[in-house]
């Protein structure tokens, strides 16, 4: 019965026309400040491109993520996914973000804000290990998918 319910739900997400893509929302908590465990920007182009390629491949389900990813890389990947009609045809990805500062307590508050503030998020992204741990431990309560963008620290 669960599979049938899921198929009915997905069927209702289809766009009315090709010009009217269905929005899908992702929630993300990332450290957005220098020195907070994440990348706030301003690094050299090679590092930025490595991170961009890493997260793009992750979004394409190739689990090839070996470089610390960050908000700018995720934003670039979303732009690429949304610009290609062969990936998620009829849908467009949007992301609601918050600055976790790599602090688990702050991230817990932001998790609740992301979950209880419309629109409904289909997936949560986290940008550092302490935050990912808190979100991953809470995710089963809401039956959420959590994607960890960092692979080592």
pLDDT digits (tens, 9 = 90+) for 93-111: 899 988 888 888 998 899 8
Question: For residues 26 and 95, is the Cβ–Cβ distance under 8 A?
Answer: yes
Residue 82: domain span: 19-148
Task: Say if residue 31's pLDDT is above 60.
Answer: yes
Q: What is the DSSP letter of 141?
A: H
**DSSP secondary structure of 32-101:** -STTTTS--S---HHHHHHHHHHHHHHHTT-----S---HHHHHHHHHHHHH-TTSSTTEEEEEEEEE-T
Residue 57 lies in a domain: yes
Mean pLDDT of the chain: 70
Domain count, the chain: 1
Residue 6 lies in a domain: no
Please name the residue that has the structure tokens 């993520």.
65
Residue 153 lies in a domain: no
Question: For residues 126 and 117, is the Cβ–Cβ distance under 8 A?
Answer: no
pLDDT digits (tens, 9 = 90+) for 37-94: 554 544 444 455 555 555 555 554 333 333 344 677 778 888 888 998 888 888 898 9
CATH classification at residue 77: 3.40.50.2300
Residue 8 lies in a domain: no
pLDDT of residue 59: 54
For 143, the 3-state DSSP assignment is coil
pLDDT of residue 118: 93
The more confident residue out of 67 and 145 is 145
Share of the chain above pLDDT 90, in %: 8
Residue 7 lies in a domain: no
Residue 3 lies in a domain: no
pLDDT of residue 106: 92
Task: Say if residue 146's pLDDT is above 90.
Answer: no
pLDDT of residue 148: 67
pLDDT of residue 99: 86
Residue 14 lies in a domain: no
């Amino acid at each position: 019965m669960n599979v049938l319910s899921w198929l009915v739900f997905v069927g209702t997400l289809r766009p009315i026309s090709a010009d009217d893509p269905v929005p899908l929302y992702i929630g993300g908590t990332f450290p957005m400040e220098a020195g907070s465990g994440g990348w706030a920007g301003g690094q050299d182009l090679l590092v930025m491109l490595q991170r961009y390629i890493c997260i793009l491949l992750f979004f394409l389900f190739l689990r090839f993520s070996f470089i610390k990813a960050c908000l700018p890389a995720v934003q670039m990947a979303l732009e690429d996914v949304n610009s290609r009609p062969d990936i998620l045809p009829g849908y467009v990805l949007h992301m609601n973000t918050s600055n976790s500062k790599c602090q688990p307590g702050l991230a817990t508050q932001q998790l609740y804000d992301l979950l209880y503030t419309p629109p409904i998020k289909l997936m949560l992204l986290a940008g550092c290990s302490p935050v990912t741990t808190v979100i991953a431990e809470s995710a089963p309560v809401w039956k959420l998918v959590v994607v960890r963008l960092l692979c080592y620290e």
